Amino acid sequence: MRFLLAGFFVAASFTCHADIDQKLSEYIEKFNLSPLSRPQGVNAKLAQLGHELFEDPVLAGNRNITCRDCHHPRSMTVDGLPLSVGEGAEGIQAAGRLRLQKNGKILARNTPSLFNLDGVNTLFWDGRVSFNPETKELTTPVPLRNDVKATLRSALAAQAIFPIADHAEMRGRPGSNEIADAKSEQEAWDLVTKRVLAVPEYRALFSEIYPGQVINIGHLGEALAEFQRAAFAFNETPYDSYLRGDKTALNEIQKVGMEVFFGKGKCGECHKGQHLSNFEFHNIGVPQIGPGKTAGDDLGRHQWSVQSDNLYAFRVPALRNVALTAPYMHNGSIKTLAQVVEHYDMIVESLTGFKLVNNWKNYVEKIADHDHRNDDLRVSALSTKLTPKLHFEEEEEKALTEFLTTALTDKRLLAREFDGDYETYFRLQLKPSGFEKLDHRFSGVRDQETFYYFDAFLEGGFFLRELAQPIRLILVKKGDRTDLVFREQIYKTAVADDGLVLGGTFNRLEKQFVSSEDLGAIEGPYLDIFQRIYTYNNGTRNDPLPVTELAIIRSDIGQINDGFRRLKFSGADRISDVLNQAKDDVLYVPTSFNRKETNTFSLTVEGKPVKCILQRSLLRTETGAVEETWAIEFETTKILKTEVQKFGKSLLRELNLSTTEIGGGTPSPSKLTQEVLEKALN
């Protein structure tokens, strides 16, 4: 990582502060942007009835699944899986629990979220249900009986009835129940309606809401839709406040991200209007994983509308609260928003280089990997809206990701608390003048520390830092004491004030003492690996490592992992869980190391004690040369999300730094390390 958030606004490529609001106002007009309105005219009794049906297995053929199981509020109205699992599955993906496939079938697509569906007239990833509000014409994948069609008044209500009739989702396999054995969808719906009306409470409610009407499946769909449009309307985002005229609602990073979104990123070509979607269909080069819809493939919109520009095209999703609904794309093949941004940056390379890592414990069977034999066809059918290479700078990617993550998330959801305890960390990269300014202000005894960084290596590369909640695994050697630090990042944000940008993370932290004997078993082979890389990449030569050297490195990695297994550190089970591997099969590899001089002092900010660690780092590059960098880190206790901006700004003001005193970068594991390890381990 060569650039950090701290240096954003000294980059000449960005619009200056005075101009950015004007530039954004031009985008607001160009892309017809407006705040998302609240649902109007909600029928409270109908919504309550829909709520009860949403949580009742009476709708399922085998009475073993509800709508809520795949769209649980605690898991942000999605199931958290790349591909849904239908009836026969168990559990929800929330609060440390898993939704397990069990006897369910892996479905072809990712579970769509239910946020802000009021007024959305095109539903399902392939748009097979749609409603024209002007002509009142309803389009569905199977013909509806006239009385049912006359009852349904929206695409949302029509969509709600189709999972009930799908064998894999809720209906059940033929032979398992009378609804599954029905000869048609309409017959199945009639049986479900009859079952619901056999419950006295439901029968009474339907009679009260629809007096004198013969109840059909359309009435059930209307109730489910009324509940969903009312209950999941979460549109109070910083972005919406900005559109209403509050220019302070977005911080500087979010504004830069918004500019990248509608400018260089060209996201607004499709993500525009009130919902940040035109709800059209586009092929954006998403790799095929899972069972697909036809012969292991998924043609998307082309299945229902056979036109060349519909091949592999899927509905453009709306984006509010998108940060809460990972993984992404129609099949959940991309795990994080940062990776989504990278995909759009180089679409063809992302598609052709894709490799699935089956690291989910939820499934009984492995998800089928992408078949690259169809890549040329997918590339030839890419949407004309796309720019094959956007050439994002790293700071542009980070700003865009921050905009998507925080500016588009409802404030009520953004402020929600995490499970368990965590600590809050901030980091500011410094220039020499900034370091000297703080070093002079806070003089004291400097400590010497050595940091050894590790990652988990799976087929395809490093993975701990690529997780939705990245993990850092570090051996920290300070004097006679060494600790193994396990740090899980559960949230990341940034604070800006007068051009200064402070990166912030909320981390769960575990430390474990490591004896000198256990350290020696890991440290020796760790340093040996890098020394061998230095020898063959020393500034005057850049030679491939001989086979004999690779064999020694492979042996060194084996010794490192023997040392880890003796440690039995507390984070092993957690890493094993997220990687879906037995803990003894997880392979830990070195990524980089550095030595730091640190000067620790304390502050009190907003009534909270803050531990400040001023750092002068001596980092070895992979030529063996030493690069010097400067930074300051802050550690404090649990801070609520709602407190972060105010606290961070107070912290920045306490430091009294200027934009000329911040910036710089920290080298991260390079491609060379990864290439050497891949060759050694393959």
pLDDT digits (tens, 9 = 90+) for 184-215: 999 999 999 999 999 999 999 999 999 999 99
Is residue 108 assigned to a domain?
Answer: no
In one-letter notation, the amino acid at residue 275 is H
Rounded to whole angstroms, what are the CA distances from 180 to 63, 356, 404?
A: 12, 34, 42
Does 298 lie in the same domain as 227? Answer: no
Q: What is the pLDDT of residue 363?
A: 95
Two tokens, residue 343 = 């995909």
Is residue 575 assigned to a domain?
Answer: yes
Does 60 lie in the same domain as 23? Answer: no
In 3D space, the residue among 211, 205, 218, 210 whose CA is nearest the CA of residue 151 turns out to be: 218
Among 379, 405, 431, where does a domain finish?
405
Query: What's the rounded Cα separation, in Å, for the pair 203 and 220?
Result: 11
Query: What's the rounded Cα separation, in Å, for the pair 601 and 662?
Result: 19
Does 591 lie in the same domain as 492? Answer: yes
* N residues, the chain: 682
Does 244 lie in the same domain as 226? Answer: no
In 3D space, the residue among 642, 639, 650 whose CA is nearest the CA of residue 423 turns out to be: 639
Please name the residues in contact with 283: beta carbons below 8 A apart, sequence gap of 6 or more.
Answer: 300, 309, 311, 312, 313, 314, 378, 381, 382, 383
Domain span holding position 636? 417-513+568-681
Query: What's the rounded Cα separation, in Å, for the pair 387 and 451?
Result: 41
In 3D space, the residue among 275, 209, 162 whose CA is nearest the CA of residue 44 turns out to be: 209
Label residues 204-237 b or e (16+ Cβ within 10 Å = b). ebbeebeeeeebbbbbbbbbbbbbbbbbbbbbbb
- Sign of the C-alpha dihedral computed for residues 207, 213, 219 and 223 taken in this order: negative
Among 196, 213, 231, where does a domain finish?
231
Neighbours of 586 (CB within 10 A): 19
Q: What is the pLDDT of residue 666?
A: 63
Does 366 lie in the same domain as 446? Answer: no
Please name the residues in contact with 648: beta carbons below 8 A apart, sequence gap of 6 or more.
Answer: 426, 495, 497, 502, 504
Please name the residues in contact with 455: beta carbons below 8 A apart, sequence gap of 6 or more.
Answer: 462, 463, 464, 465, 473, 588, 589, 591, 669
Does 249 lie in the same domain as 204? Answer: no
Q: What is the pLDDT of residue 270?
A: 97
Q: What is the pLDDT of residue 18?
A: 58
Residue whose entry in the numeric block shows the structure tokens 């040392």: 563
Q: What is the pLDDT of residue 671?
A: 73
Is residue 10 assigned to a domain?
Answer: yes
Does 162 lie in the same domain as 264? Answer: no
Is residue 658 assigned to a domain?
Answer: yes
Return the axis-axis angle of helices 671-681 and 547-567, rounded to nearest 10°. Answer: 90
Neighbours of 671 (CB within 10 A): 9
Two tokens, residue 38 = 């609240």
In one-letter notation, the amino acid at residue 242 is Y
Residue 157: which CATH number? Answer: 1.10.760
The low-confidence residues of the chain, meaning pLDDT below 50, are: 1-16
Two tokens, residue 382 = 């890419």
> Into how many domains does the chain fold?
3
Label residues 359-375 b or e (16+ Cβ within 10 Å = b). ebebbeeebbbbeeeeb
Does 448 lie in the same domain as 364? Answer: no
What is the rounded radius of gyration, in angstroms, for the C-alpha atoms of the chain? Answer: 27
Query: What's the rounded Cα separation, in Å, for the pair 342 and 340?
Result: 5
Are the beta carbons of 491 and 641 closer than 8 angstroms? yes
What are the helix (H) ranges across 452-571? 516-536, 547-567
Residue 200 burial (10 A CB sphere; 0-12, 13-18, 19+): exposed
Among 208, 231, 254, where does a domain finish?
231
